[in-house]
A and B are shown apart, each in its own frame.
Chain A
Amino acid sequence: MSLVVRNLSIEIDGRRVVDDISFDVPDGARVGLIGESGSGKSLTALAILGLLPDAATATGSIRWNERELIGLPDRELARLRGDEIGIVFQEPRTALNPIRTVGRQIAESVRIHEGLGRRDAAARAIAEAERVRLPDPAQIVRRYPHQLSGGQRQRVAIAMALACRPRLLIADEPTTALDVTIQAEVLELLAGLVARDGMSLVFITHDLAVLSQIATHAVVLEDGRVVEHGPLSRLLTAPASPVTQGLLRDATATLWRPGGAA
């Protein structure tokens, strides 16, 4: 099950925001999309799931498991979403429905894709909450999102994305909105789950330091174009483009700042 992106371009109101990018995510690979904000990383992620806003159009090719996703009817895409491809968004505060319990949201994709009933889904939600190491899973699934901390909410979002054991996880800046200490915990959890399930990962970030802890390869984007790509070990030691060099400088600055994340 591999993801192959070829010559992907995205236009919003005639403006090209993603310009002819190509990259591969082989089965089980962990690839980072890195760049400053506005470089088109998140739109690329949404394009993979067919969730671009109405004003945006994607051209080119996104093949998942030899199947072309661009132009696929929404009904077909809905079958893949949450089942084969999961996504974790940046902001856990808004990514959860405020008036539904955490458990029902975790079990949502399971109920859709595996046809589980209410009772089975509730039991499954507890198991999934345990898997992302939420404290007191049996109780926490009955809570509402606002009763949870930011870190707990992001764990819920991860549990939602992984409930159906997708083969590809897209993580769109999943730690950016969190405190530094929580960031490290969530990152470790994510890395552990990805490794355990052997799923592929597309990790979107602007932080090379974060990326170095979870990905093996990286695609560096600037203004919607790929400026450099390759194994992370090489990008960290011998960055070729000025963009990568800049990201590396930022990352080392974070390392040296008092209280900065390692």
Chain B
Amino acid sequence: MSRFAWLRRLWALSTGRFGLLVVLTIGVVALVARFWLPFDPQAVDVDGRWALPGWPHLLGTDGAGRDILSLLMAGARTTVWVALGAGLVATVIGVALAALGALTARWLRESVAVLVDILIAFPVLLIAMMISSVWGGSLWVVIVSVGIGFGVNIARVTRPELRRVLHSDFVLAGRAAGLTPFQNLYRHLLPNIAPVLIVQLSWGMAVAVLAEAGLSYLGFGAPLTEPSWGLLLKDLQQYISVHPLSVVWPGLAITITVLGLNLLGDALREATDPTLTRRRTAAQTHTTAVIS
């Protein structure tokens, strides 16, 4: 089986296909938005206020006559940047804490485990509010707070996984085959925790997207000059009783992106774990046996 077999398995799952398409679409949109937007998202057009979806404003305009599609595309840039940044920070923090909690001397790894258990009690929102009250609201606040908040989650899930793999016979067998500790880490340890990490990362990015929107909405995230789905939602929401259609677009963008990332995470978990597919087949066989 080729090394990309998991990609085929991912594509075979309807959730995986949906998640992958959503994530790829957002990525491409954000990339395109870096170089080209249908309209300047900050261009005010007093005569063209509250235009309904149509040509040339595909999703209509807001109360200042700004093109909603352009605002969403510019916001996608922010979303992708925050999701990637928060994901990276969370992974680094998570893996570092998990490694400290799994591979070091007993007193240190027990203390790290306790620390992680304490930190996990702090909601991302609380961390964000603490950080932004000192340094003011910015996208960095969102990245760092989600990074810490979710990094602790990753550590919590990865640590026992790392310890389980570390003590498994095949790591010993790998050493018995002549692997050096580093080769063993690369060939046996990391690949065995990678599925867990990737899945966590995917979920973490979903949290980051939601947190960016939520924090920007509350004023702890993106400054008003920055394009952001959360800010747009906040702007348009004030007019929900007059122009209900316009507020649907940022809401839809956030919902679909978060859903896509979540489903991608679920599908990845299923696609990267060969033993899970077996269990599913076994369960199916069992059901068939019961029915017949």
**Which residues of chain A have a CB within 8 Å of any CB of chain B?**
49, 51, 74-75, 78-83, 86-87, 89, 91, 94-101, 108-109, 112-113, 142, 144, 146-147, 157, 160-161
Contacts and interface: CB of A to CB of B under 8 A. Distances in A.
A51 B180 contact: no
A51 B172 contact: yes
Given A95-B170, A99-B191, A112-B183, A87 B176 contact: yes
Contacts of A82: 176-178
Interface string B184-215: 00011001100100000000000000000000
Given A51-B175, A78-B179, A87-B176, A146 B278 contact: yes
B168 A78 contact: no
Nearest to B273: A99
B181 A74 contact: yes
Given A94-B169, A99-B192, A112 B177 contact: yes
Given A83-B178, A112-B183, A146-B275, A160 B191 contact: no
Contacts, number: 78
B175 A95 contact: no
A101 B1 contact: yes
Nearest to B274: A144
Contact of A78 (B1, B175, B191, B195): B175
Which 10 residue pairs across A and B have the least CB separation, nearest first?
A: A82-B178, A82-B177, A109-B177, A94-B169, A95-B169, A97-B170, A81-B178, A144-B274, A87-B176, A112-B178
5 contacts: A74-B181, A98-B274, A101-B1, A112-B179, A144-B274
A81 B181 CA distance: 13
A102 B181 CA distance: 21
Given A51-B172, A94-B169, A160 B177 contact: yes
B175 A81 contact: yes
A113 B178 contact: yes
B173 A96 contact: yes
The majority secondary structure among interface residues of chain A is mixed
Interface string B72-104: 000000000000000000000000000000000
Given A75-B180, A81-B177, A99-B195, 20 more contacts: A51-B172, A74-B180, A78-B175, A81-B175, A81-B176, A82-B176, A82-B177, A87-B173, A89-B173, A94-B168, A95-B173, A97-B174, A97-B192, A98-B170, A98-B274, A98-B275, A112-B177, A112-B178, A113-B178, A146-B278
B22 to A, nearest CB: 27
Nearest to B192: A99
A41 B190 CA distance: 31
Contact of A160 (B168, B173, B275): B173
Nearest to A95: B169
B274 A146 contact: yes
A51 B177 contact: no
B173 A78 contact: no
Contacts of A160: 173, 177
Contact of A98 (B1, B174, B180, B192): B192
B191 A100 contact: yes
Contacts of A157: 173
A94 B192 CA distance: 13
A147 B180 CA distance: 28
Contacts of B278: 146-147
Contacts of A51: 172, 175-176
A142 B1 contact: yes
Which interface residue of B169, B176, B183 has the most chain A CB atoms within 10 A?
B176
Contacts of A89: 169, 172-173, 176
Interface string B112-131: 00000000000000000000
Contacts of A49: 176
A108 B178 CA distance: 9
A100 B190 CA distance: 12
